[in-house]
Amino acid sequence: MIKLENLHKIYQLDKNTSLHALKGVSLNIKKGEIFGVIGLSGAGKSTLIRLINMLETPSSGKVIIDGEDITSYSEANLRKVRQSIGMIFQQFNLLSSATVFDNVAFPLKIAGFKKDEIKKRVLELLSLVGLDDKANVYPAQLSGGQKQRVGIARALATNPKILLCDEATSALDPKTTSSILKLLCSLRDRLGLTIVIITHQLEVIKECCDRVAVIDGGVISEMGDTIEVFASPQKDLTKHLVATVVRRDLDDLLSYTKLYSEYKENSRAWFLLTFLGDRANDPVIVDVAIKTNAKISIMAGQINHIQNQPLGFLVIAVDGSKDAIDTALKELTDRVYKVELLGYEVE
């Protein structure tokens, strides 16, 4: 659906200074998925999303939409492509002097739709985003969430196949953010949209994105299914971002527990277990304790939900001989998504 090939973007700031905002970015976004791009400020997120609809021209590389390389399109052809790509923004960008109806109607008027067609389409869209009763009010009379719903309706006016969201929930409170994300998921399912979400909020990725790419210093540092990235982050930045949402108590727990890297007589092993999907509900600890006669203590635990899939973390301590601990480790490894030895505690 959307394919980015080796994209570079260099801004010439002045005669002697340039900024290499994107450095060889390649992505393949599937039709009908919600794809998230997350990174810190200045990482290149907004540049990336503006290249998808060619609001920015890449310095090199290709932007391919539905098999067509649009990087070489004329401005007239790009205007046609952009009618199939809707976009919503952090600051809503509504016309303050126009009613909700006229805000949503604006792109239809530009596209040359007839008056009766515009009326029908606008009322359909307002119903779709839950604003049936707001057609004749002005943006100043709306809450932030309602303004963003108007922005979404306007972005959908020309019946696009792709919806780009540039920090679309950054100005909203958590409850309103959740409602907007649920709306986006619903629209994806009802309309068959492909949605790209640029954000610095990991909670947004956690709630609605099928896959995620982490951008760092203009390059994609990590990419994969959202639940996999949350369960097993590989890069330091990803680990830092994930730690703001999951495993919040682990550092505090380990800060007052002295663990050693080598086994000593009468020590016990500490493990971090990661449970994923349906297996998060399995009675693993009880089963392993019975099968191995190991003494297993639960030290800490947490269950998160990534797109309604359970992702659990459990810190346990296993008492016994080295052989008994190794046997328990083998059983645990066979039963859970990931087992990490944290160290050995000497009593």
pLDDT over 60 at 248, yes or no: no
Reported as a single tens digit per residue, the pLDDT across 45-55 is: 999 999 999 99
| C-beta of residue 233 within 8 angstroms of C-beta of residue 313 | no
Write down the pLDDT at residue 224.
Answer: 95
The DSSP secondary-structure symbol of 56 reads S
- Which residue range(s) make up the domain with 260? 250-346
Does the predicted TM-score (pTM) go above 0.85? yes
Percent of the chain topping pLDDT 90: 60
Same-domain status, 239 and 258? no
Same-domain status, 135 and 66? yes
| Other Cβ atoms closer than 10 A to 102 | 17
Q: What is the DSSP string of 8-62?
A: EEEEE-SSS-EEEEEEEEEEEEPTT-EEEEE--TTSSHHHHHHHHTTSS--SEEE
- Using CA atoms, how far apart are residues 258 and 343, in angstroms rounded to an integer? 9
Domain count along the chain = 2
Lowest model confidence (mean pLDDT) among 59-68, 160-169, 210-219, 309-318:
309-318
Q: How confident is the model at residue 15 (pLDDT cuts 50, 70, 90)?
A: confident
Same-domain status, 224 and 277? no
Same-domain status, 145 and 227? yes
Last residue of a domain, which of 210, 243, 276? 243
Q: Supply the CATH number for residue 232's domain.
A: 3.40.50.300
Q: Supply the CATH number for residue 335's domain.
A: 3.30.70.260
Q: How confident is the model at residue 249 (pLDDT cuts 50, 70, 90)?
A: low
Same-domain status, 264 and 168? no
pLDDT over 90 at 161, yes or no: yes
Write down the pLDDT at residue 152.
Answer: 95
Reported as a single tens digit per residue, the pLDDT across 126-139 is: 999 999 999 999 99
The DSSP secondary-structure symbol of 260 reads B
Q: How confident is the model at residue 183 (pLDDT cuts 50, 70, 90)?
A: very high
